[in-house]
Structure 1
Amino acid sequence: MVNAMAAHARVREEIVRLVHRGLSVPEFSRAVGDALRRAVPAEGTCLMTTDPATMLPTAEFVENGLPAAELLRLVEIEVREPDFNTWVQLAHAGRPAGSLSEATAGDLDRSLRQREIRSPGGFSDELRVVLAGSTGTWGQLTVFREAKRPYFSPAEVEFVSSIARLITDGLRRGLLLGGAQAGDDDAGLLILDADDGVRMSDKAADRWLDELGTGDRAGARLPLVISAVARQARSLCGTAPSGAPAPTDLRPARARARTRAGQWLIARGSLLNNGPEPQVAVMLEVARPAEMAPLMVAAYGFTDSERRVTELVAKGLSTKQIAGRLHVSSYTVQDHLKSIFAKSGTGSRGDLIARLFLDHHAASLTSGVAAHM
């Protein structure tokens, strides 16, 4: 017990240092996985970034995990079929971490993803961690063990729960490393077949696909956010392949993701037909200030009132117009603006827009936002 407590303390201290090193998300993911395994032995990790408005995955960073095709099937199970300890369930639980063995009372094969994907891949128990702030989920971390290894203990689950906010802090910093670069507003369109094969794409879509990238996934054909949005579009318009009803808490087929150059895009999916081979149209476009406001203002710890004011500032409304929209006095709006300027380190509306949407830096901490665009 004493040795375990000492190991936990050392790992916690190491993660605190990692959080403040200004690492990119891939670097932070690898470093956290290495550190965590010294206190919670495991064979692999998978950290996925998510759009906080929909909880759809936007990118993944895997160490010794499942190949691309299996990972995409896991995403499909999450959004279309009932299972144990799903990300949505865990996000609403009383703690941010939970093991599959605990959720299934020790019978892992009760889980669809375990029977269909994880067990055939040689994996046993998994420990999931929701990486969330006060207003939404920004990432999902899975730690997994191979077959014939012991299940994660309650003490290990509790320890990981205790450092979930630390890991979230590091992820939020990594997501805002560097400034978002201004770009053109060309929208891209691609058409996907039932297997996510690209049937058609225009030049703008090709450029955005290249900018998003596929990471280091062997065999990956598309950025994860594209496949996730496409699968969600299918789930919104039909039933799961197994015939099970779709979940009742369906989320929009829409997600925001950053390119490798730091630019924010919005991906939106729409089902073109609902036959035996349904095609999905995915539209890609640069996220404009008003669309990014719900995502970016949380980086500065704004209150709900300050967030609403900032969104209206981004839309170009005057103080008087904002007061009328929010049913408050102009003096109240001015007080909110003073607090907004102080928190964001700006001195005017123009500075605020530039700071929030064109020049956000690693010193800013991203936080999830549960608002829909």
Structure 2
Amino acid sequence: MVYGQAMSERVRDDIGRLVHRGMPVEAYWRAVSDALDAAVPSEGSCLMTMDPATMLPTAEFVENGLPADSISRLVEIELREPDYTKWVDMARAGTAAASLSHVTAGDLDLSRRQREVRRPGGYSDELRVVLSSSTGTWGALTVFRETDSPYFSSSEVRLLSSLTGLISDGLRRALLLDDACADRPDTGMLVLDPDDGVDLANREAEQWVDELGVGERAGTRLPLVIRSVASQARAIAAGERIADVGLARARVRTRTGRWVIVRGSLLGEGPLAPVAVLLEAARPAEMAPLLADMYGLTQRERRVTELVAQGLPTRQIANQLHLAAYTVQDHLKSIFAKSGTGSRGDLVARLFFDQRATSLTAPSATPDD
């Protein structure tokens, strides 16, 4: 099936509103699966959450999936044996979505998990989506079809690939909401009424508000960034186009110099529904695009910097970007001058504090948190 712009925008708007709905992980997954099924029909789906440091699965939510006694073999293949479209391989290659039928050219049994586990279980093609952000891979989504169903088309793969940023952002919000409700440290949560009055605040949120400050305007109760993000969440929930209003999310520096990510999600429906505002310390990789903006790096310079952070030498950078080696050197000189650094190591340390490369050129709707 070939999808037009209207279909893509409708699905994006539907999922964008779900992202800002303030749901726990399982409810979010079920709602996203329902929204996707209208455009990309499937017989089942599975969401796995992952530890971003190791990409090891931490929990799974399955609808119409394989029986439990088959899962251990799937996990063994995923973690220890070669196969097609493994999560780690997709994340490393920067592949947002892929179908098994495409990567095997239609011969699904080339996949070990397909011939040993999935086909005997009555399943055919699967479409895998890596839910990554600039802070790591937080989860993975699989939609799958049974034996008599058609393979996923290239347009269906492209559609899910284009939605990865939104779906990832919603998963990160759901995980943070679960953390805040479980009273885990470092995740602040405020629940605001329609007039931005505070109905609920955990200790971490109160600390972030104190650190952000409310300014000197008389009668101000909350930092401007929190009120702005809450307003954005209400606008999105009211049906305003995502492309027009953007995501309800902002990065801001506190008075002590720390950076915090602020996210807003509506808890319920209707104009009187409260808004949950989540506050989390910005991770180093999240700040790289912002620092690139501050230094005034051009798009080409950002791409060169990404490849430098991946450890590529000048000649390989030149080959990837179809440039002459001396042109890459000229870009590097400009990057060093703008960033105030004197070597590749200094540059990576300044932009990617934890030595991890992230995308400096991805659009803002691409996973960020």
TM-score normalised by structure 2 residue count? 0.52
CA distance in 2, matches of 1:33, 1:111: 25
| Contact 1:177 1:362 survives alignment (8 Å) | no
Q: Is the 2:261–2:281 Cα contact (8 Å) retained in structure 1?
A: no
Which residue of structure 2 aligns with residue 92 of structure 1?
A: 92
Deviation at 1:365, TM superposition (A): 6.6
Gap runs ≥5 in structure 1: 181-261, 265-286, 298-334, 346-360
The DSSP-based 3-state class of the residue aligned with 2:278 is coil
Cα distance, 1:14 vs structure 2: 0.4
Match of 2:258 in 1: 340
Q: Decide whether the 8 Å contact of 1:104 with 1:110 is kept in 2.
A: yes
Q: Which residue of 1 aligns with 2:278?
A: 363
State the 1:68 CA deviation: 1.7
Q: SS state of the match for residue 129, structure 1?
A: strand
Amino acid at match of 1:93: A
Alpha-carbon distance between aligned partners in 1 of 2:114 and 2:260, rounded to the nearest angstrom? 49
Give the match for residue 140 of structure 1.
Answer: 140
In the TM superposition, residue 67 of structure 1 has moved relative to its aligned partner by 1.8
Indicate if the aligned counterparts of 2:51 and 2:138 stay in contact, CA closer than 8 A.
yes
Matched residue SS, 1:161: helix
* 1:135 and 1:367 in contact (8 A); partners too: no
Structure 1 match to 2:48 = 48
With over 3 angstroms needed to count, the CA separation of the structure-2 counterparts of 1:9 and 1:83, relative to structure 1, is same
| Equivalence for 1:161 | 161
Contact 1:24 1:174 (C-alpha < 8 Å) held by counterparts: yes
1:83 & 1:7 partners in 2: Cα distance?
33
1:62 Cα deviation (Å)? 0.8
Moved over 4 A (4+): 1-4, 341-345, 365-372
Q: Any residues of structure 2 matched to 1:4-43 within 5 Å, and which?
A: 4-43=4-43
Aligned amino acid, residue 258 of structure 2 = I
- 2:59 match: 59
Structure 1, residues 239-260: CA drift from partner, whole Å, max 9, x if none?
xxxxxxxxxxxxxxxxxxxxxx
- Report the CA distance between 1:342 and its aligned residue: 6.0
Within 5 Å, give how 1:323-334 maps onto structure 2: none
Give the deviation of 1:338 after TM superposition.
2.7
Q: 2:175, 2:115 → 1: CA distance?
A: 34
Aligned length: 211
Query: In structure 2, the residue corresponding to 1:32 is in which secondary structure?
Result: helix
Distance 2:102 2:2 in 1: 25
For 1:36, the aligned partner's letter is L
CA distance in 1, matches of 2:126, 2:70: 15
1-structure distance, mates of 2:282, 2:32: 19
Name the structure 1 match of 2:249: none
1:345-368 CA distances to partner (integer Å, 9 max, x unpaired)? Answer: 9xxxxxxxxxxxxxxx76247999
